[in-house]
Amino acid sequence: MLKKTSRVSLVEQVASQMEELIGNGHWAVGNKLPPEMQLMEEFGVSRNTLREAIRALVHAGLLETKQGSGTVVRSKSSLGVALHRHFEKSSLIETLEVRLALEREAAQLAAKRRSEADVKKLQEYIKQCQAAAEIKDLEAFISADISFHQMIVKAAKNQVLLDLYEHMTDAIYTSIHDIMLDSQFSYDNEIHHELLEAICEQDIHGASTYVNEYIHTFKKRFTNITEG
Protein backbone atom coordinates (compact mmCIF):
# COMPACT_ATOMS: atom_id res chain seq x y z
CA MET A 1 0.00 0.00 0.00
CA LEU A 2 3.04 2.22 0.44
CA LYS A 3 1.32 5.03 2.28
CA LYS A 4 3.03 8.22 1.19
CA THR A 5 5.33 8.75 4.18
CA SER A 6 3.64 11.49 6.17
CA ARG A 7 1.73 14.65 5.56
CA VAL A 8 3.83 17.78 5.65
CA SER A 9 3.26 19.79 8.81
CA LEU A 10 1.73 23.23 8.61
CA VAL A 11 4.91 24.75 9.98
CA GLU A 12 7.01 23.27 7.18
CA GLN A 13 4.50 24.45 4.60
CA VAL A 14 4.68 28.01 5.90
CA ALA A 15 8.48 27.82 6.13
CA SER A 16 8.69 26.62 2.53
CA GLN A 17 6.45 29.42 1.33
CA MET A 18 8.62 31.93 3.15
CA GLU A 19 11.77 30.43 1.64
CA GLU A 20 10.17 30.78 -1.76
CA LEU A 21 9.31 34.43 -1.09
CA ILE A 22 12.90 35.07 -0.06
CA GLY A 23 14.38 33.03 -2.89
CA ASN A 24 12.49 34.78 -5.66
CA GLY A 25 13.23 38.20 -4.23
CA HIS A 26 9.66 39.04 -3.25
CA TRP A 27 11.04 39.50 0.22
CA ALA A 28 14.32 41.24 -0.57
CA VAL A 29 17.38 41.01 1.65
CA GLY A 30 17.38 43.82 4.19
CA ASN A 31 13.66 44.41 3.99
CA LYS A 32 11.40 44.13 6.99
CA LEU A 33 8.67 41.51 7.08
CA PRO A 34 5.08 42.36 7.96
CA PRO A 35 4.33 41.96 11.68
CA GLU A 36 3.32 38.56 12.98
CA MET A 37 -0.33 39.52 13.28
CA GLN A 38 -0.53 40.28 9.58
CA LEU A 39 1.45 37.20 8.55
CA MET A 40 -0.90 35.05 10.64
CA GLU A 41 -3.78 36.26 8.51
CA GLU A 42 -1.91 35.97 5.21
CA PHE A 43 -0.84 32.40 5.84
CA GLY A 44 -3.99 31.50 7.73
CA VAL A 45 -2.22 29.94 10.68
CA SER A 46 -1.96 30.58 14.39
CA ARG A 47 0.77 32.60 16.00
CA ASN A 48 2.56 29.52 17.33
CA THR A 49 2.70 27.88 13.93
CA LEU A 50 3.88 31.05 12.28
CA ARG A 51 6.53 31.67 14.91
CA GLU A 52 7.89 28.13 14.62
CA ALA A 53 8.30 28.64 10.88
CA ILE A 54 9.99 32.00 11.39
CA ARG A 55 12.27 30.56 14.06
CA ALA A 56 13.34 27.76 11.71
CA LEU A 57 14.40 30.30 9.10
CA VAL A 58 16.08 32.47 11.72
CA HIS A 59 18.15 29.51 12.83
CA ALA A 60 18.98 28.73 9.20
CA GLY A 61 20.25 32.28 8.74
CA LEU A 62 17.58 33.49 6.34
CA LEU A 63 15.81 35.80 8.78
CA GLU A 64 16.75 37.90 11.77
CA THR A 65 14.37 39.00 14.49
CA LYS A 66 14.72 41.83 16.96
CA GLN A 67 12.35 42.03 19.86
CA GLY A 68 10.24 45.14 19.71
CA SER A 69 11.44 46.04 16.24
CA GLY A 70 10.56 43.38 13.73
CA THR A 71 11.89 40.67 11.44
CA VAL A 72 14.17 41.36 8.48
CA VAL A 73 15.53 39.20 5.67
CA ARG A 74 19.16 38.47 6.33
CA SER A 75 20.22 36.28 3.40
CA LYS A 76 18.83 34.45 0.39
CA SER A 77 20.77 31.30 1.19
CA SER A 78 21.21 29.23 4.32
CA LEU A 79 24.47 27.83 3.01
CA GLY A 80 26.61 30.42 4.74
CA VAL A 81 25.37 29.67 8.24
CA ALA A 82 25.48 25.93 7.67
CA LEU A 83 29.04 25.99 6.38
CA HIS A 84 30.07 28.32 9.17
CA ARG A 85 28.66 25.96 11.80
CA HIS A 86 30.34 23.03 10.11
CA PHE A 87 33.76 24.63 9.76
CA GLU A 88 33.66 25.76 13.38
CA LYS A 89 33.90 22.12 14.31
CA SER A 90 36.45 21.29 11.62
CA SER A 91 40.19 21.57 11.31
CA LEU A 92 41.31 24.92 9.95
CA ILE A 93 44.05 23.44 7.82
CA GLU A 94 41.65 21.00 6.23
CA THR A 95 39.23 23.79 5.41
CA LEU A 96 42.04 25.87 3.93
CA GLU A 97 43.16 22.90 1.87
CA VAL A 98 39.72 22.51 0.33
CA ARG A 99 39.40 26.21 -0.30
CA LEU A 100 42.73 26.22 -2.12
CA ALA A 101 41.58 23.24 -4.17
CA LEU A 102 38.57 25.26 -5.27
CA GLU A 103 40.85 28.13 -6.15
CA ARG A 104 43.06 25.85 -8.21
CA GLU A 105 40.07 24.65 -10.21
CA ALA A 106 38.83 28.21 -10.52
CA ALA A 107 42.10 29.44 -11.99
CA GLN A 108 42.01 26.85 -14.73
CA LEU A 109 38.36 27.46 -15.51
CA ALA A 110 38.95 31.20 -15.47
CA ALA A 111 41.69 30.77 -18.06
CA LYS A 112 39.11 29.11 -20.27
CA ARG A 113 36.11 31.29 -19.65
CA ARG A 114 37.23 34.74 -18.51
CA SER A 115 35.72 37.72 -20.29
CA GLU A 116 37.49 40.93 -21.13
CA ALA A 117 35.66 42.60 -18.26
CA ASP A 118 36.98 39.95 -15.87
CA VAL A 119 40.56 40.68 -16.93
CA LYS A 120 39.98 44.39 -16.45
CA LYS A 121 38.70 43.90 -12.92
CA LEU A 122 41.61 41.60 -12.07
CA GLN A 123 44.03 44.26 -13.24
CA GLU A 124 42.17 46.79 -11.13
CA TYR A 125 42.57 44.71 -7.99
CA ILE A 126 46.28 44.26 -8.63
CA LYS A 127 46.60 48.01 -8.92
CA GLN A 128 44.80 48.38 -5.60
CA CYS A 129 47.23 45.90 -4.06
CA GLN A 130 50.21 47.88 -5.29
CA ALA A 131 48.73 51.20 -4.22
CA ALA A 132 48.00 49.85 -0.74
CA ALA A 133 51.52 48.43 -0.50
CA GLU A 134 53.05 51.77 -1.42
CA ILE A 135 51.25 53.65 1.33
CA LYS A 136 51.77 50.78 3.75
CA ASP A 137 48.04 50.26 4.30
CA LEU A 138 48.00 46.61 5.27
CA GLU A 139 44.24 46.32 5.72
CA ALA A 140 43.56 47.76 2.29
CA PHE A 141 46.17 45.44 0.83
CA ILE A 142 44.59 42.37 2.38
CA SER A 143 41.16 43.45 1.26
CA ALA A 144 42.31 43.98 -2.33
CA ASP A 145 44.23 40.71 -2.34
CA ILE A 146 41.18 38.74 -1.20
CA SER A 147 39.10 40.54 -3.80
CA PHE A 148 41.61 39.57 -6.50
CA HIS A 149 41.39 35.90 -5.67
CA GLN A 150 37.63 36.07 -5.39
CA MET A 151 37.49 37.70 -8.80
CA ILE A 152 39.36 34.76 -10.27
CA VAL A 153 36.65 32.48 -8.95
CA LYS A 154 33.99 34.75 -10.40
CA ALA A 155 35.75 34.59 -13.76
CA ALA A 156 35.44 30.80 -13.66
CA LYS A 157 31.73 31.28 -14.41
CA ASN A 158 30.52 28.59 -12.05
CA GLN A 159 28.02 29.83 -9.49
CA VAL A 160 28.24 26.72 -7.30
CA LEU A 161 32.01 27.07 -7.15
CA LEU A 162 31.68 30.75 -6.32
CA ASP A 163 29.08 30.17 -3.60
CA LEU A 164 31.20 27.55 -1.86
CA TYR A 165 34.34 29.65 -2.16
CA GLU A 166 32.76 32.83 -0.84
CA HIS A 167 31.07 31.12 2.07
CA MET A 168 34.26 29.29 2.97
CA THR A 169 36.13 32.57 2.82
CA ASP A 170 33.58 34.15 5.15
CA ALA A 171 33.71 31.24 7.56
CA ILE A 172 37.49 31.38 7.99
CA TYR A 173 38.02 35.03 7.18
CA THR A 174 39.69 35.80 10.49
CA SER A 175 42.25 33.06 9.97
CA ILE A 176 43.02 34.09 6.40
CA HIS A 177 43.36 37.65 7.57
CA ASP A 178 45.83 36.66 10.27
CA ILE A 179 47.94 34.61 7.88
CA MET A 180 48.23 37.57 5.55
CA LEU A 181 48.92 39.95 8.41
CA ASP A 182 51.88 37.83 9.31
CA SER A 183 53.49 37.96 5.90
CA GLN A 184 53.15 41.67 5.16
CA PHE A 185 52.97 43.04 1.62
CA SER A 186 55.73 41.51 -0.34
CA TYR A 187 54.90 37.94 -0.95
CA ASP A 188 52.86 37.34 -4.04
CA ASN A 189 52.49 40.37 -6.22
CA GLU A 190 54.73 38.77 -8.83
CA ILE A 191 52.60 35.65 -8.80
CA HIS A 192 49.55 37.84 -9.20
CA HIS A 193 50.96 39.28 -12.37
CA GLU A 194 51.98 35.96 -13.83
CA LEU A 195 48.67 34.36 -12.95
CA LEU A 196 46.72 37.23 -14.44
CA GLU A 197 48.86 37.05 -17.59
CA ALA A 198 48.09 33.36 -18.00
CA ILE A 199 44.37 33.88 -17.44
CA CYS A 200 44.38 36.81 -19.83
CA GLU A 201 46.11 34.74 -22.54
CA GLN A 202 43.82 31.80 -21.79
CA ASP A 203 46.89 29.74 -21.03
CA ILE A 204 45.38 26.96 -18.96
CA HIS A 205 48.64 25.20 -18.28
CA GLY A 206 50.29 28.42 -17.21
CA ALA A 207 47.40 29.29 -14.92
CA SER A 208 47.67 25.86 -13.38
CA THR A 209 51.39 26.29 -12.82
CA TYR A 210 51.16 29.69 -11.21
CA VAL A 211 48.17 28.90 -9.02
CA ASN A 212 49.99 25.83 -7.77
CA GLU A 213 52.95 28.02 -6.99
CA TYR A 214 50.72 30.41 -5.10
CA ILE A 215 49.08 27.57 -3.19
CA HIS A 216 52.48 26.18 -2.29
CA THR A 217 53.55 29.57 -0.98
CA PHE A 218 50.36 30.06 0.97
CA LYS A 219 50.51 26.62 2.59
CA LYS A 220 54.13 27.24 3.52
CA ARG A 221 53.27 30.50 5.19
CA PHE A 222 50.49 28.84 7.11
CA THR A 223 52.84 26.12 8.27
CA ASN A 224 55.40 28.69 9.37
CA ILE A 225 52.82 30.47 11.50
CA THR A 226 51.35 27.42 13.18
CA GLU A 227 54.75 25.90 13.83
CA GLY A 228 56.36 29.19 14.84
Partner DNA sequence: CTCCTAAAGTTGTAGGATGATTGGTATATA
Partner DNA sequence: TATATACCAATCATCCTACAACTTTAGGAG
Binding site for its own copies (CB under 8 A): 6, 9, 11-12, 15, 23, 48, 51-53, 55-60, 65-67, 77-79, 81-83, 85-87, 89-91, 94-95, 97-98, 101-102, 104-105, 109, 158-161, 163-164
Among the listed residues 11, 144, 171, 196, the single contact to DNA using CB under 7 A: 11
Binding to DNA (CB under 7 A) within 29-48 occurs at 33, 35-37, 44-48
Q: What letter represents residue 97's amino acid?
A: E
Residue 80 host element (H or E) = helix 79-88
Helices then strands, counting H and E runs in the chain, come out as 11, 2
Residue number with CB closer to DNA (12 or 94): 12
Long-range CB pairs of 63-71, under 8 A, 24+ apart, other chains included: 63/18, 63/22, 63/33, 70/32, 70/33, 70/35, 71/32, 71/33
Binding to DNA (CB under 7 A) within 51-90 occurs at 51-52, 54, 65-71
Helix (H, G, I), strand (E, B) or coil at 67: coil
Residue ranges with strand state E in the chain: 63-66, 70-73
CB of 5 to its own copies, least distance (A): 10
**Closest to 215 (Cα-Cα) out of 188, 196, 189:** 188
Residue number with CB closer to its own copies (86 or 120): 86
Residue number with CB closer to its own copies (61 or 183): 61
Helix (H, G, I), strand (E, B) or coil at 228: coil
Q: Taking CB within 5 to 8 Å according to partner kind, which of its own copies, DNA, none is near residue 45?
A: DNA
Q: How many residues bind DNA (CB under 7 A)?
A: 25
The residues that touch DNA, with contacts defined as CB under 7 A, are 6-7, 9-11, 33, 35-37, 44-49, 51-52, 54, 65-71
